[in-house]
Amino acid sequence: MKLLKEKVLNEGIVLSDQVLKVDSFLNHQMDPILMKEVGREFTRRFEGEEITRVLTIESSGIAPGIMTALELEVPLIFARKQKSLTLREDILVEKVYSFTKQESNEITVAKKFMKPGDRVLIIDDFLANGEAAFGLARIVEQAGAEVVGIGIVIEKAFQPGGKLLKEKGYRVESLVRLAALKDGQVTFAEDEVNV
């Protein structure tokens, strides 16, 4: 996605060789035009999959998730990280570790929103080690539903998440893949000869 690559280059801030800050357009302030295009691109990539639900994790996955769900005309479910007084029973629960926040969270989804036979597309903002995606996939499988694919806005291809998910048989579609974050610069995986 050309527009997304431009945003990463022009507005992304390399904080270290592991962390890219994209809070001006993806995970704090959001660019609605970019999110609309992200939703369209995921819909194009997963065309024909007969998706019945989109699943993401709060909060940074909600914008790309809702725009994808809007394009697909299906509901969006977001797994909650925060405990809720109204979400205590009949829930699906998984533990996930956040690379960026360096903490573990229990994520929850109400069972009533996902049923056996559902065909679920998982959407998330970043893919590093794959913890969030694996946790969401386990929730889908607990519900007796099927993961038809995992859509990632930005994948850190230099970390193992994408490879691990593919080895487990999941279809992963990343809109932008980063080969490296080095010396304050972003290198895209597509630009690498051997990637």
Question: SS in 3 state form for 79-145?
Answer: EECCCCCCCCCCEEEEEEEECCCCEEEEEEEEHHHCCCCCEEEEEEEEECCCHHHHHHHHHHHHCCC
179 touches 156 (CB < 8 A):
no
Res 18: pLDDT: 93
Per-residue pLDDT at 59: 86
d(CA 127, CA 100): 10
pLDDT, residue 184, reads 93
Residue indicated by tokens 């970043």: 126
Q: How confident is the model at residue 195 (pLDDT cuts 50, 70, 90)?
A: very low
Using CA atoms of 156, 160, 162, 167 in order, give the dihedral in degrees to the nearest 10. 170
